[in-house]
Amino acid sequence: MPPSTEPKSLKILHITRNLPPLVGGMEKLNWHMAQELSRFADVRLIGPDSPPSSQPEGPNFFGAQSKPLWLFLFLALARSIACIKNWRPDYVLAGSGLMSPIALLIAKLSGAKSVTYAHGLDITVNHFVYKLLWLPTIRKMDLIIANSQPTAQLARNIGIPSEKISVIYPGVESSAIEPNNHAIKSFKETNNLKDGTILLSVGRLAERKGILEFVRYSLPTIVGEIPNAVLVVIGDVPMESLHAKGQSAQSIIEEAQRRGIANHIRFLGRVSDHTLATAYCAASVHVFPVKHNPHDPEGFGMVAIEAAAHGVPTAAFSTGGIVDAVSHGVSGLLAKPGDYEALSDNIVELAKNKEKYKDASIAFSRQFDWKNFGSNLQNIFINNCRAQAYATPKK
């Protein structure tokens, strides 16, 4: 659906560092958020410099150098001040907690409402400077949009009133994607997978993603049950992430060598969207062994919804926002955090019965369509704007 050409009365300034050329779930989400907002509002987007081809259609884009971080923050503030000189937004939206101080300041200067789209880590970062400067700012925002129910609870835990909080789940291209047999065959041949049962992991190799621990505690058991099982890892170390610690491919391979299963792992690094879609279609199970860490939670788990959209069930621990992203018994199976024996059993069950979960997974993913995401955004912004209008006494 192309952006409307009709005049839009609602004005939103969207400020975020999480946009292409940076890569990740938050980057994808903010890209789509800007796109969806522009369908019903006049949007100005401030983000890292990027080629026009990678910018969302609809909003007016203003780029700033992404590194080092302090320079981006300075330039984002300068761009924001320039934007409001002759253009008064109704809302100033921070695409993550990182941008909340700038969003709050610009909102106060322009008389706008301040909004943060909050991810789990935005609230739980265990750093004294962040706790001292950023958390108080997030508490002062007029609206908090949480990416999951667990993230909403984290917001309440730091003193944000429930009436300020709404939940809008990240989206996905949820139309059923049929596998291209020729593409799948080529993908397997290229990556020496042959007739292997593919256990797919998608995402940056952050420490909390738990791939090394999965190789240590689960993969040997799974290989014993499914001798042709291969863990295919798509993603690399989080070079641009502000907080995440990484697990190197080499450290994971060395762990696999110690377990005698090194030939049951393939690292593909970053891949194209087409290759990723093919990998999903070729996989039997999406493996998502995120560790439970109160200071580094998984806010939602978009990759679980992407897998479901391709008819692939997810095996994961029931931690953080994953409990919203995976419907136990429908789009996958959840184990208690740290129970690698149950996780292994669940993966074997899903791998042997993928077709049983295929249709239910696709159906589950449809509620997370990006169009629904956009409609939910529209409802929150427009309804809040109306509520403010009714609450303002007439002169």
pLDDT top residue among 44 and 240 = 44
Residues 285-314 have pLDDT tens digits of 999 999 998 888 898 999 999 999 999 999
315: helix, coil or strand? strand
Residues 116-134 have pLDDT tens digits of 999 988 999 888 898 899 9
Which among 177, 130, 199 is positioned nearest to 158, based on CA atoms?
Answer: 130
CA pair distance 290, 277, nearest whole angstrom: 22
pLDDT of residue 125: 86
CA pair distance 37, 4, nearest whole angstrom: 11
Q: What residues does each domain of the chain span?
A: 11-171+369-391, 181-367
CA pair distance 125, 102, nearest whole angstrom: 18
pLDDT of residue 155: 96
CA pair distance 60, 107, nearest whole angstrom: 18
- What pTM was estimated for this model as a whole? 0.88
- What's the token pair of residue 288? 């998502």
Q: pLDDT exceeding 70 applies to what percent of the chain?
A: 91
Residues 151-185 have pLDDT tens digits of 999 999 999 999 999 999 998 876 556 667 898 99
- CATH architecture, domain 181-367: 3-Layer(aba) Sandwich (3.40)
144: helix, coil or strand? strand
Q: At what angle do helices 340-352 and 354-365 cross, to 10 degrees?
A: 100
Question: What separation in angstroms does the CA of 33 have from each of 29, 57, 307, 372?
Answer: 6, 11, 21, 11
- CATH architecture, domain 11-171+369-391: 3-Layer(aba) Sandwich (3.40)
Mean pLDDT over 263-278 rounds to: 92
How would residue 383 be classed by pLDDT, with cut points 50, 70 and 90? confident
